[in-house]
Amino acid sequence: MWSLGSYSDIAPHFLSMAARLVDATDVSANDAVLDVGCGTGNVAITAARRGASATGLDIAPAMLDGAQENTAIAGVEDISWREGTATDLPFEDDTFDITLSCVGHMFADPPDAAAQELLRVTRSGGQIAFTSWTPTSVVPAMGKMLIEYLPPKPDAPDPPFLWGEPALVRERFGDDVDDLAFEMGTVLTPVLSPAHYWEAAVTQSGMFIVALENINEDDRSTLHEEMIGTIEQYFDDSQNAVPMEYCLTTAVVG
């Protein structure tokens, strides 16, 4: 799924989130940093440019190819790229000083396993930080609309955007972390209209491409109209952009 579309066109919209993650954890030289669900390398490369020894992990080889290309362009060194999943990280316990994820780990299933893996690979006293879409942001709103048109799936995993719900994050980490904190932020996706935002989603995002393939052809016209209406509620015509709200979570491993 993640190899479909054109993530390289989506990733630049998340650059400010990547920088905020690195700043929030004061990444510096001598830190060993892991970027979970690294995509095309936004966080890992940002951390490496601050002097850290960075590792980027992603489930999709095509993403890692893009990350390596971005590494070469940026001219940074000391980055390792690994293929793997957030629920079974291919690293020893206590490997990293700082473990980060920019709307990446949130798609891992089951989420409790992802939480335990973040804790396992981060040393005691180290930091975990990640960004996730909030339940009220545009991406979950679009997802809820899609579900109404998709065949029922009784064994569907928990919605990814629950990682943007502070109460649930507290439950998932329990007493294993200290100084758990949450901040809200927004990234802007510049588009000419709500219809352009939807067109980008179904041509660039593997998640939406796969979902659309499972929707009855006869329903697609109605879905298109309702989806445009949903996006319209978020569209900021003073900036020709769709704001995407996220939650930044930071914690210290106990």
Q: Where are the domains of the chain?
A: 7-135+157-188+243-253
Q: What is the CATH number of domain 7-135+157-188+243-253?
A: 3.40.50.150
Which pLDDT band holds residue 2 (cuts at 50, 70, 90)?
Answer: low
> Which of 121, 3, 129, 15 lies closest to 59 in space, CA to CA?
3
Whether 5 shows a pLDDT value over 90: the answer reads no
First to last CA, the chain: 35
Average pLDDT over residues 97-125: 97
pTM of the model: 0.93
Whether 154 shows a pLDDT value over 80: the answer reads no
Which pLDDT band holds residue 24 (cuts at 50, 70, 90)?
Answer: very high
| Residue 252: Cβ within 10 Å count | 17
Token pair belonging to 6: 């054109």
